[in-house]
Structure 1
Amino acid sequence: MPPKRIAFMFAGQGAQTPGMGRDLYDASKAARAIFDQADEALGRAISTLCFQGSTDDLTACANCQPAILTMSLAALAALQERVAVKADICAGLSLGEFAALYAAGVFAFADVLKVVAERGRLMDLACQQSQGGMAAIIGGERDVIEKTCADCDVDVANYNCPGQIVISGAVAPLQQAMAKLAAAGYRVVALQVAGAYHSRLMAPACEPFAKVLANTVLQAPSCLVAQNVCGALVSAPDAIRTNLCRQISGSVRWDECSQLIQQHADLALEFGPGAVLSGFLRRSNRAYPVASVNSDKSLDAACALLAP
């Protein structure tokens, strides 16, 4: 029997929870090393933020983005401490794309932490320049949602999975779009976020972030990498840079990334707090094997999935 092809998926912003990663730190030497190295690389106690930070502490992009990244990579390290496993394809949701690129050898560890911390800072600044929000549309038709967004002058932020699309924009037009979609019979859920992520309102962050990436070394990936903004496999470092900049204000095409995962891997492992991406994948294909690595206890299920 040929070896199993494995996908690594990494959680995005919004998955953060107070106390995340504490049990991994206590139980795994490899996970502890990731947290300690992150604290040193950033010159701030990201580990304390993860373990003791409040929900409010973990809301700002400048805090939650490096915190989720660190916790996700600690979960990966804890699993690799138990079993020798490498990815055939990597992908992550929005912020999670940076963890995926690190796992694929594109970024050095200290570099990816510093890039993500700056990304979070720039996105916080963009949020302060506008009043925006986001809403999840459950069960709607894609073409209807897209037309409503165009009519109301808001953007599609995320194509998460069949039956779930997130829209984003300035408060007044967003509320108009939400009302229209609710009147069409769709379930509309306002999201508790600090701004209109993955919309044109994030554009002020794009140019300064491009300068950050221009001064950061990126290597060609060691495995397949699916990027959000194009929903396609990308291997050239310059193209990866461009897509990371576009992603800040562009749509996250996670549904297409999920399809690529299913085409190129026999099972998927999700790293980071929560299990959002595993849920999206199951909605797309209930039979597809997937496990979430988000705690020390969860490592057992992941190891069982990897067993021959």
Structure 2
Amino acid sequence: MTTQVAFLFPGQGSQTVGMGEDVFAASAAARHVFATFDQILGFSLSDLCFQGPEETLRSTINAQPAIVAVSLAYLAAFQEALSPQYSSWSTPLTPSYTAGHSVGECSALAASGAIDLAGAAYLVKERGRLMHEEETACPGGMAAIIGMDAQTLQQICEDVSKKMQQEQTDNSRHPGFGQVILANFNAPGQIVISGEQHALEAACLLAKERGAKRVIPLTVSGAFHSPAMQPAVNKLAVSIASTELRDTVIPVIGNVKAQPLTTEAELRTELAEQVAQSVQWTGIIEYLAAQGVTTFFEIGPGQALAGMIKRIVKGATIINIGSVSDIKKAVNKVQESDLLAE
């Protein structure tokens, strides 16, 4: 096991039309990943990834399995490039830890050895479907707040939610209505808030008034990691209960508490609860750094995680694997280093 290496996987918002097409053409291992997802989902996810349309790809029900499929395709192609005789997600380069941002945790679960490819495809299909149901029932969104401390932003969200709740007279409405919370602790000075649309808009305005440097709406279609997703938790738990999981070979650092998850029971609890809980990404990277991790592989579309890591851990080595050319560069770096020798 390579003690200073972690495999990290991106979440929703990283999707782009055309993603994965190059690795599909270049790698038999990657084609197997796409074929498995196409079969489990019952339609050509690969065509949607490669050709769009963008609006369809951006929809939660499609974006989540697409991001996981592309991430695992690049991981498979990378290990295949290191050794054509590769036999798992974690060989020949074996990390000490895996982690994923939001839906990226499903990719991390596969990389950890806790779930097989078909199981990962089914799980992320159900996750996307159930979260799509709740974003339809309680329309909302997310926004990155730049340059504001967590305490001030927390107070803004509490003030807005309290005001919205006082104005609400219909107690039968969705539990997410009028709610906005701190959803993603991405990096120092970069926190994402999430909530029902009116509450989110009010919180964004208040953040600007109280000194936020920037407020950036995210390209997601729902209020993820907020009370708007709470009804999905129990429903997802049912799907998770029917999915075969194992104890991890490699620990997964969980989104909810930024602590290692190794047992099947821990994983089942985490996977259900995290859709409505905040993502502790800063805590995850700080934990990994404290364990001696110095090289972070970001595997999947985009480079959003790299920017976060640079703000959390100064001097970290970040290797992106999101294209065939990235794979070639990563293989060269690994072969030139002592990473495979550990």
Deviations 1:203-253 (A, max 9, x none): 121111010011112111111210001111121211211111111111011
Following TM superposition, by how much is the alpha carbon of 1:35 offset from its aligned partner in structure 2, in angstroms? 1.3
- State the match for 1:257 in structure 2: 284
Residue in 2 aligned with 1:141?
149
Aligned to 1:33: 32
| Greater Cα offset, 110-119 or 280-289 | 280-289
> Secondary structure at 1:279's aligned position in 2?
helix
Q: Percent identity?
A: 38
Whether the 8 Å CA contact 1:126–1:201 is kept in 2: the answer is yes
> Residue 89 of structure 1: which of 86, 91, 97 is its match?
97
Listed as ranges, the matches of 1:73-152 within 5 Å are 73-83=72-82, 84-152=92-160
Runs of 4+ in 1 over 3 A off after TM superposition: none
Query: In the alignment, is the contact (CA less than 8 A) between 1:230 and 1:243 conserved in 2?
Result: no
Matching of residue 220 in structure 1 with residue 219 in structure 2: no
Given that 1:4 and 1:267 are in contact with CA atoms closer than 8 Å, whether structure 2 keeps it comes out as no
CA distance in 2, matches of 1:41, 1:120: 14
Match of 1:285 in 2: 313
Q: Map residues 162-177 of structure 1 onto 2, 5 A cutoff.
A: 162-177=188-203
Offset from partner CA, 1:87-107 (integer Å, 9 cap, x none): 210000000001001100111
Which secondary structure state, in structure 1, belongs to the residue aligned with residue 325 of structure 2? coil
Return the match for 1:161 from 184, 187, 198: 187
Superposition pairs of residues 55-74 of structure 1, within 5 angstroms? 55-74=54-73
- Which is worse superposed, 257-266 or 12-21? 257-266
Distance in 2 of aligned mates of 1:148 and 1:231: 25
1:3 to partner: Cα distance: 5.5
Matched residue type, 1:159: F
Structure 1 residue 4: deviation in Å? 5.2
> The residue matched to 1:57 in structure 2 has which SS?
helix
Q: Which amino acid in the other structure matches residue 143 of structure 1?
A: Q
Work out the number of aligned pairs and report it: 307
Matched position secondary structure for 1:240: helix
The SS at the match of 2:222 is coil
Query: Unpaired segments of 5 or more residues in structure 2?
Result: 83-91, 162-179
Larger radius of gyration: 2
What is the CA-CA distance between 1:120 and the residue it aligns to?
Answer: 0.4
User: Distance between the aligned counterparts of 2:2 and 2:200, measured in 1?
Assistant: 47
- In 2, the alpha carbon distance for the partners of 1:114 and 1:213 equals 9
Do structure 1's residue 297 and structure 2's residue 325 form an aligned pair? Answer: yes
User: SS in structure 1 opposite 2:265?
Assistant: helix
1:120-177 CA distance string (max 9 Å, x none): 0111110111121211100111111112111212211100011100001122222221
Taking structure 1 as the reference length, what is the TM-score of the superposition?
Answer: 0.96
Q: Return the letter of the residue paired with 2:238.
A: K
